[in-house]
A and B are shown apart, each in its own frame.
Chain A
Amino acid sequence: MVALMRWVGGAAVLCVIPFLLQPYELDLYRKLLFWVALAISYNFLFGISGQMALSHFAFAGIGAYAVVILMTQAGLPLGLAVVVALALAAALALIVALAATRLEGFYLALATLAFAQLLIVVLNEGGSLTGATGGLTNYRLPPIFGFVIGGPGTAIIMIAVLLATLAILLRIDRSWFGRACRAIRDNSEAAAAMGIDVARTKTIAFTTTSVMAAAAGMVYAFFDNTVNPPVFGIDNAIMLLFMVIVGGSGSHLGAIIGAVLLKLSQDFLEPIVGHYHALGFGVIVVVAILIQPKGLIGMWDQIRARRVAARKRAAS
């Protein structure tokens, strides 16, 4: 009951914020929510399941493009377009997963990178279907149950997707499935000896998180009522990886912190210091890997452990 109250309270705070913001700030806020939602699901894929896939943004792009194309060009109503787009993303994710999860370590990174690249090529060359390099514009979110959804409304939908992603992943992380994923990440041979079907578990983790990315991408498509290829490219996929590493890979809270910090620093520092910001970004990532592989969350745990130890010493 307390837990439920906490969720409701958190959702309420997140949902009030968009009504207090100026249009420019609202735009930053919505995109921040988008990144956080992706970071949470990517953390489960990379940090918990140990799959270094670079296709997460590609699946966000598949969700975004699919829902818009199904609505505007196939003439489907919004609800049906969302369902079909999610099913399409799930089917594609399953195909990629069945093939890619057989591959270990950097081979998986290469295969998913090639998939992401191929998607960008298809989007760029899709003619009127995908709007080529300019992407798709001139569409809008139809009224939902009679309500016309404005800027703050799309933020609230994104909050719903984000919280649903977090709630689902928290729940399965705290079950035998989460333990199986972590076990495979740490030692796949020992995991198999414990009765874990390694390929099946990896495939489920990859498909689930990729569909979550597609759902976030769908909402993103209605932020500015435009989608274009570069957003879903490899640069952002690597940025997402860095967010999870800096925050603390394997930790849900770490992924959220990493996404918020890096996204905000990009939004606020880039206009002032330009490329020095990105340079600093690379330095932070390298230093994080060298000094604290568990990221900011690991650092916080260390400080807390030291404090507890100091208190114990003081007591005795």
Chain B
Amino acid sequence: METQYKDVEVVNRGSSFNGKDLTLRFLALTLTLIAAVLLGVDKETTTVAITLVPSLPPVDLPVTAKWTHMSAFVYFVIANAISCTYAATSLIVILATSGKNKLASLVIIILDIVMVALLFSAVGATSSIGLIGYKGNSHVHWDKVCNVFNKFCHQVAIAVFLSFAGSITYLLLIVISALKLHKKF
């Protein structure tokens, strides 16, 4: 057991996390942070004209769209906040151990993969709901809402795009880790 541990140390000496990894991690941190904040502050109030009584002119009613109204959006914000926090934590851990700790790097790869799953599912959920909001669904009479809440929908779309870019970044991190493990062999 003791000799094996020594071997690990010897192999691991030449392999610190390189600049590419750190850059990508910082990119993921920024993208998911912006996505979470963008959807987290998303709120729009507009007035819609509703005819209550046919003989009277329509009355203007204020309606509000907020991100907490949709459970998929809440999930999106939470998932992005988690992966943003994780990116910051992993950055600190890598910088603190300068990538030489074998266990820390293995745990970081494993958690990177969890973040891929988390972020992709959040992007999927939000974009499917956003698509219904944008196009509506005639089969179940879910009317589109994006013709009313224009700014709100745009903000959701941008947040989804940014979060998608963030999840691609995590995917690239895994590819880099796999290539690095392969190269070391």
Partners in one complex: no
Give the B-binding residues of A (Cβ under 8 A).
none
Give the A-binding residues of B (Cβ under 8 A).
none
